[in-house]
Amino acid sequence: MAFGWIEEQAEARRRAGLVRTLRPRPAESPLLDLASNDYLGLARHPEVTAGAADAARTWGGGSTGSRLVTGTTELHAELERELAGFCGFEAALVFSSGYAANLAAVTALAPHGSLIVSDAGNHASLIDGCRLARGTTQVVGHADAEAVRKALGAHGGPAVLVSDTVFSVDGDAAPLAELAAACREHGAGLVVDDAHGLGVLGDGGRGAAYAAGLAGAGDVVVTATLSKSLGSQGGAVLGPARVIDHLVNAARTFIFDTGLAPAAAGAALAALRLLRREPERAARAREVADEIHARLTAAGLRAVRPDAAVVSVRAPSPEGAVRWAADCRAAGLAVGCFRPPSVPDGVSRLRLTARADLSGAEIGRAVRVIGETRP
């Protein structure tokens, strides 16, 4: 039977307790949200939703074509200019998702004969970029600048290092300054995914590269998503104009994908302008994360010290993590739950996201529920 093997896989998944199901969220959820990536609380901000609605009215429900045909509106150009300016880069290019942006950056910047050095903790979209690229990938230990140095030193041709800036599961930050130094010693490019850093790290949320003094450097490229701090949808690549021009001409997920929807561009632009006006939102998201971590630790839970807005709490097992998250939900709290295949066996965990708009009382309630439901 066609696709007969699907049942075998499904059965194995059931036996391992790893079946995933979708749970549609109502518009007015009664749950306290520590699961979304809406770090700055902007997804439902009236200026952001108005930005989406106005853009849809002006430019239409969709962008109508690929970017090189009809899918580039003046709104896209405006967003790219402002995003680049805000983060301190020469140019930017927006994509229909952060996933597509990562595939674009890695594939277009790692030609045949090149070496891609990739951190073992990188996001799936960077890993898939490595798989699609013509260059050869070498995976190095997590946040290990010495291993990066060694890998780059052993290779003669063009090379690029790819890394998350803030790792999505544990919320720890990459040692960007050290990684950049290792790249410079060997003339390699640095591509960093700032999905969890933009809007949270750096002065007023200008991102991890800005915070590390790497913004605008000729050998640094940043990828980002518009779907987390900016409360919208879509992705971006920021870097030197010559790199961005190259992506326009060579990146397949740019060339063959329909342009970002105008509503998403309008929402992201409104969020960016709001963040410029209210830069304290970024620092507040970091403060909330630190407070969640401190209170969890005081309650005797094992949480990773957060470098941005993600707080990770160790669970005893994949089943334990699932049960823990379900019990939190039953008690009115939405938390993320990471287990294989999203994370390696033995490191299942709850993933909590800090939001700039969480009150002290809400943080207290969340930590109490997590403590009371621990497996």
CA-based angle 105:109:113, to the nearest 5? Answer: 145
Q: Is the dihedral of CA 266, 272, 277, 278 positive or negative?
A: positive
| CB of residue 300 to ligand PMP, shortest distance in Å | 29
Angle made by CA atoms 196, 114, 220, in degrees to the nearest 5 = 35
User: In the set 73, 225, 229, 348, which binds ligand PMP (CB under 6 A)?
Assistant: 225
- What is the C-alpha separation between 270 and 55, in angstroms, rounded? 10
Least distance (Å) from ligand PMP to the CB of residue 102? 6
Please choose, from the candidates 317, 295, 293, 342, the residue with its C-alpha nearest in 3D space to the C-alpha of residue 20: 342
Q: Which stretch binds ligand PMP (CB under 6 A): 92-100, 147-155, 203-211, 360-368?
A: 92-100
Tokens of 60: 């239409």
- Structure-token pair, residue 45: 């901000």
What's the CA gap between 374 and 371, in Å, rounded? 5
Q: Which one of the spans 75-83, 96-104, 248-256, 312-320 is the region binding ligand PMP (CB under 6 A)?
A: 96-104
Q: Which is nearer to ligand PMP, 317 or 342 (CB)?
A: 342
Q: Name residues whose C-beta falls within 8 Å of residue 179's C-beta, 6 or more positions apart in sequence.
A: 145, 148, 161, 163, 190, 192
Structure tokens at 266: 């309008």
Q: Are the beta carbons of 256 and 68 closer than 8 angstroms?
A: no
Q: Is 98 in the site for ligand PMP (CB under 6 A)?
A: yes
User: CB-wise, 97 or 138, nearer to ligand PMP?
Assistant: 97
118 near ligand PMP, rule: CB under 6 A: no
State whether residue 191 is helix, strand or coil: strand
- C-alpha torsion 63→65→98→180, nearest 10: -120
Query: Phi and psi dihedrals of 167, rounded to 5?
Result: -80, 135
How many Cβ atoms sit within 10 Å of the Cβ of residue 135? 21
Tell me which residue has tokens 């003046």: 74
Q: Which of residues 176-205 bind ligand PMP (CB under 6 A)?
A: 193, 195-196
Answer yes or no whether residue 235 interacts with ligand PMP by CB under 6 A. yes
Q: Is 353 in the site for ligand PMP (CB under 6 A)?
A: no
Q: Are 199 and 39 in contact (CB under 8 A)?
A: yes
In the complex with ligand PMP, the residue whose CB is nearer, 119 or 367, is: 119
* Among the listed residues 45, 67, 76, 123, the single contact to ligand PMP using CB under 6 A: 123
What residues from 204 to 223 belong to the interface with ligand PMP (CB under 6 A)? none
- Does 351 engage in binding with ligand PMP (CB under 6 A)? no
- Is residue 170 a contact point for ligand PMP (CB under 6 A)? no
Query: Any contact of residue 260 with ligand PMP (CB under 6 A)?
Result: no
Q: Smallest distance, Å, CB 98 to ligand PMP?
A: 2
Cα separation, 98 vs 239, in Å, equals 15
Contact 308, 291 (CB under 8 A): no
| Interface residue with ligand PMP, options 89, 99, 210, 254 (CB under 6 A) | 99
Which CB, 51 or 367, lies closer to ligand PMP?
51
Q: Which one of residues 63, 72, 73, 168 is an interface residue with ligand PMP (CB under 6 A)?
A: 168
CB 289 within 8 A of CB 229: no
- Identify whether 111 is preceded by a cis peptide bond (ω within 30 of 0): no
125 binds ligand PMP (CB under 6 A): yes
Selected from 102, 229, 312, 353, the binder of ligand PMP by CB under 6 A is: 102
Q: Which of 38, 80, 119, 164 binds ligand PMP (CB under 6 A)?
A: 164
Q: Judged by CB under 6 A, which stretch of 95-103, 176-184, 213-221, 348-356 contacts ligand PMP?
A: 95-103
Binding of residue 97 to ligand PMP (CB under 6 A)? yes
Q: Are 160 and 167 contacting, i.e. CB atoms less than 8 angstroms apart?
A: no
Q: Least distance in Å: CB of 111 to ligand PMP? A: 22
Candidates 17-25, 93-101, 249-257, 348-356; binding stretch for ligand PMP (CB under 6 A): 93-101
CA distance 289 to 34: 11
Please say which residue, 165 or 348, places its beta carbon nearer to ligand PMP.
165
| Site residues (vs ligand PMP, CB under 6 A) | 97-99, 102, 123, 125, 164, 168, 193, 195-196, 225, 227, 235
